[in-house]
Structure 1
Amino acid sequence: MRLKVFDFFSGCGGTSRGFQNAGMQPVFALDFDAEAASTFQRNFPNVSFSQTDITKFDPAELGKFISENDVTLFCGCAPCQPFTRQNTQKPDSKNDSRRSLLSKFGEVVEYYTPDYVFVENVPGIQKVTGNSTLTRFKKRLENIGYQTVVNIVESQNYGVPQRRRRLVFLASRRGSIDLPSPTHGPDAGKPHNTVRRWIEHFPAIKAGEEHDKIPNHRAARLSELNLRRVKATPPEGTRADWPDELKLACHTKNGYSGHTDVYGRMKWDEPATGLTTRCISLSNGRYGHPEQDRAISVREAASLQTFPDEFEFLGSLNSQARQIGNAVPVLLAEVFGRHILEHMEKNSG
């Protein structure tokens, strides 16, 4: 019996691809973003897709995909921007309409009561004080019979070559459930995956170039000044290594020392720093290629999110970076998918 996956806020499909790799069957996905929808449909041609605002979605539409004896999983990785550290500090952050999306997903869950629920988000969603969105969602599911577990996980401990802290929430109607044990790191007895292992095989390109045979192996252009800066950055180096004439004025005033990773090069033999929606921009993090004079390409960013090389991204260059930065790392979803399937087998009586 295959477990059917219904992927809400699917984005480009990181969660669906990971669950598919684990042995599940994605059958339905929903997302409002047109370019992410195009990417998802290109890579999952046999999955029914709804390019819809979930607040306008009628849950009854899912009835045609669900039979009486099906085992089902609903995943809802809602947009995380309202809960990032930067945004939770803004005065109007509590009024961001995107905060209600998890509540709407809760309505869909309550309508169908799938066997399992999976949610991934930034850790900041847990830090909102009072009767928070996450707290209400958790209570809602427990009130209708789910057993839940929620915690912060380090993606590099599950094989992802990237230091990416995420909140993961699991709910089960088939008995108590926990989170899977780490697969990598000191406690697992297996070294973390590295940048080298996941991107060294891609051929060299220059800033502004796109490889003619490898989909999405395209690097953003650099201004002449930023090209000089990246050339002045040694392996594993940062902007601190530049000569004074290349330094930004905002980084030299009043003893400024913040954001030391911007303009930095990735380290070959360590996991990457966490990728954001601007992960191909040299000025937005440690996103410089370890040795080539450019930021990482879209393809390399996707690989650090553990997407397979044949997974194709559509849309503008900035949109592709946003899709990748927003995605659940494929390998993280795969580990959790295998864990859920093992739980299903143990509790199938």
Structure 2
Amino acid sequence: MSPRRRSPKIAAVDLFCGAGGLTHGLIEAGIDVRAGIDLDPACRYPFEQNNGSAKFVERDVKDLGANDLRPFFKGSDYTLLAGCAPCQPFSTYSRSGRSKKRELDWQLVSNFGELVSDLQPDLVSMENVTQLADHDVFAKFLDHLDGYHISWSAIECTQLGIPQTRRRLVLLASRLGPDNLSLSNIVEPARTVRQTISELPVIAAGQQDAEDRLHTASSLSQLNMRRIEASRPGGTWRDWPPDLLASCHRKMSGASYPSVYGRMEWDAPSPTITTQCFGYGNGRFGHPEQDRAISLREAAMLQTFPRTYRFVPDDEPVRFNVLGRLIGNAVPVKLGEAVGRTLVRHVGAPGSGKPPQKRAVPQYLFEL
């Protein structure tokens, strides 16, 4: 009997790792994530608690050099540098009065590109808002990928079995060649809000489930309770009686925001989960049936985190703003898994024999 052939081993570092959505997906796909790097100390517990031996490194990516990352790649066949650089200036949820500091957030994309140039990993994965492709910072990032084959496209997350309408730019780059470097072959059945969260226990606004502290819903004022009682799944505030309308709804500008104070629909994907998804007035974040906003656990599950994913230690309070930020900013786990499955297939399927030899290649750029 011939000896069993092993599959190529991909070691990865996840930049801007957050709570570990991308990392968890990569691990599910068979990639050995060695470390996640983020400036936010609140990320340490969820990242390390749920992702095996992956180490959380509390560092600013702007201060990193290639030599800081090389030790994480020892003993691997291939190296992957992955990440989702915060890009608030391009987000449709950004506010017009944002500070100069937030305007400079896109510099992190350039820092990511500079690390790629210095480290020269075999594989690169970047996920971001789709608007990034229209700005100079993206063209400059591509310049850092000289010598790589590149595939990038705008992905609708519902096509990957994510129960959420969320369009993201996903870029994959490889020094190994162009074969199988596309997410287009990964199509999962569409999933709905009902399929994702309907089995969770019933709770009221302001209540926390006794068995799962993350399954907690924010409180509602008396006025907002009347509003959600008057709301129907998929409807808008235009369904309310006049005495429930806010002043902004009576202005012409209010016509641009019909989903504010809306309920989700059971048999459709959720809207994009944001950092403020726990607030009924912040979007279509009302539960389809119960008179409350979705809970933090429901938000996490709509981001395709497992129901058992731990976000906060038992001896620390559940803080909506902190956990809403971690959940809303996360890369959906199933998107990370799709990226990982694509890269595993790209370097060589399990059992296919000896890993392919690394080789220098010319750049090959295409948009899906």
* TM > 0.5 fold call: yes
Over the matched positions of the two proteins, sequence identity in percent amounts to 40
Corresponding residue for residue 248 of structure 2 = 250
Are the equivalent residues in 2 in contact too, given 1:215–1:312 (CA < 8 A)? no
Gaps of 5+ in 1: 185-189
SS of 1:141's equivalent in the other structure is coil
When the two structures are aligned, how many residues end up with a matched partner? 339
SS of 2:171's equivalent in the other structure is strand
SS of 2:168's equivalent in the other structure is strand
For 1:66-93, what per-residue CA distance to the aligned partner results, in whole angstroms no more than 9, with x for missing partners? 2365311111201121221365977977
Q: Point out which structure has higher relative CO (alpha carbons under 8 A, 6+ apart).
A: 2
Corresponding residue for residue 82 of structure 1 = 89
- Distance in 1 separating the partners of 2:274 and 2:32: 28
- Cα gap change, 1:63 to 1:322, in 2 (>3 Å): same
The one-letter code matched in structure 1 to 2:209 is: H
Corresponding residue for residue 297 of structure 1 = 295
- Cα gap change, 1:267 to 1:182, in 2 (>3 Å): farther
- Distance in 1 separating the partners of 2:272 and 2:108: 24
- Distance in 2 separating the partners of 1:164 and 1:242: 28
SS of 1:262's equivalent in the other structure is coil
Corresponding residue for residue 211 of structure 2 = 213
Once the two structures are TM-superposed, the CA of residue 342 in structure 1 deviates from its matched residue by: 0.4
Once the two structures are TM-superposed, the CA of residue 281 in structure 1 deviates from its matched residue by: 1.0
TM-score with structure 2 length normalisation? Answer: 0.87
SS of 1:339's equivalent in the other structure is helix
Corresponding residue for residue 134 of structure 1 = 138
Once the two structures are TM-superposed, the CA of residue 43 in structure 1 deviates from its matched residue by: 1.9
For 1:1-21, what per-residue CA distance to the aligned partner results, in whole angstroms no more than 9, with x for missing partners? 321110000000000000111
- Distance in 1 separating the partners of 2:193 and 2:108: 34
- Distance in 2 separating the partners of 1:66 and 1:183: 27
For 1:195-226, what per-residue CA distance to the aligned partner results, in whole angstroms no more than 9, with x for missing partners? 00000010100111111112410111111111
For 1:127-153, what per-residue CA distance to the aligned partner results, in whole angstroms no more than 9, with x for missing partners? 22xxx11110111112xx111122111
Corresponding residue for residue 228 of structure 1 = 226
Corresponding residue for residue 187 of structure 1 = none
Corresponding residue for residue 110 of structure 2 = 103
Corresponding residue for residue 347 of structure 2 = 344
Corresponding residue for residue 10 of structure 1 = 17
Identify which range, 324-333 or 82-91, moves more after superposition: 82-91
Corresponding residue for residue 47 of structure 1 = 54
Corresponding residue for residue 329 of structure 2 = 326
Match of 1:277 among 267, 275, 278: 275
- Distance in 2 separating the partners of 1:51 and 1:297: 28
For 1:25-81, what per-residue CA distance to the aligned partner results, in whole angstroms no more than 9, with x for missing partners? 110110001112332122235212211111122431223222365311111201121
The one-letter code matched in structure 2 to 1:250 is: C
Corresponding residue for residue 159 of structure 1 = 161
- Cα gap change, 1:48 to 1:333, in 2 (>3 Å): same
- Distance in 1 separating the partners of 2:239 and 2:117: 55
Are the equivalent residues in 1 in contact too, given 2:149–2:177 (CA < 8 A)? yes
- Distance in 2 separating the partners of 1:161 and 1:223: 29
- Distance in 1 separating the partners of 2:137 and 2:210: 46
The one-letter code matched in structure 2 to 1:19 is: L
TM-score with structure 1 length normalisation? Answer: 0.91
